[in-house]
Amino acid sequence: MSHSLAVLISGSGSNLQALIDAIEHQGLPARIDLVLSNRADAGGLARAKSAGLATAVIDHRDHDSRESFDQAMVDRLAPLAPDTVVLAGFMRILTPVFVRAFSDRLLNIHPSLLPKYPGLHTHRRALDAGDSQHGCSIHFVTEELDGGPLIAQAPVPVLPNDHEETLSKRVQQAEHRLYPDVVRWRAERRLFLTANGVQLDDRLLPPTGLVVPDLAAGDTARAG
Ligand code: GRF
């Protein structure tokens, strides 16, 4: 039976699209059982529908606490028993109500090289700091915001004339390659969160997770 995913989104869903494409065209052995959004106007819902996926909207504004919103999401997802819950641009802070329900199978992608720049406006912060390198990180989610154990990071260069838009585009390109790879490790039952840390195959990963070669530079950098 293929690996079951639930994908949570709030926005355009380009990372969701990368997963859909990897399943449809690159043999990612997983299926997306539900795309759940907290916003009815999330662009990703249209992407899900055109791929024939089930969708649901649970609007956080219909709930008077974060816990009640999280419980509603747990109630919707738990019967599906997803093998992995993928946060893909899901822009709500999760409480222990949600995190504990899916602990050890909850992934998030974040647009910075964590632990640098948790939270919002990461591209602006990297530019303001004069960083020469930026990137994205994928981690298991714990109760600490953007603080869970790292699985993989993809550095991208900051170029001299970069502004927020150009830099975020380059980071997103890296995200779209890295997230399907990490989800594939899960689907192939190679990636786990253990009491000792993140395990990929038979090794424990370092605190940075796996740092992959410069994705923005393309396959030649990988081959070299
Ligand atoms: C991504 O940059 C991701 O890192 C962040 O939100 C953005 C989502 O983009 N958490 P999309 O909705 O997948 O296009």
On whether the pTM is more than 0.85, the answer is: yes
Residue 7: what are its φ and ψ, rounded to 5°?
Answer: -115, 125
The closest residue, in CA terms, to atom 2 on ligand 1 is: 111
Distance 39 CA to ligand 1 centre (A): 14
- Could you give the CA distance from residue 157 to residue 206 in angstroms, rounded to a whole number? 22
| 203-204, strands of its sheet edge to edge | 191-194, 197-200, 203-204
| Among candidate residues 45, 87, 91, 47, the one with its CA nearest the CA of residue 179 | 87
Q: Check whether the bond before 206 is cis (ω within 30° of 0).
A: no
Task: Give pLDDT tens digits for 83-124.
Answer: 999 999 999 999 999 999 999 999 999 999 999 999 999 999
Q: What is the pLDDT of residues 40-57, one digit of tens each?
A: 999 999 999 999 999 999
Encoding tokens for residue 197? 């840390």
Residue 176 a catalytic site member: no
> Distance between CA atoms of 173 and 87, rounded to whole angstroms?
17
- Considering 3, 110, 123, 134, which one is annotated as catalytic? 110
Q: Is the CB of 10 under 6 A from ligand 1?
A: no
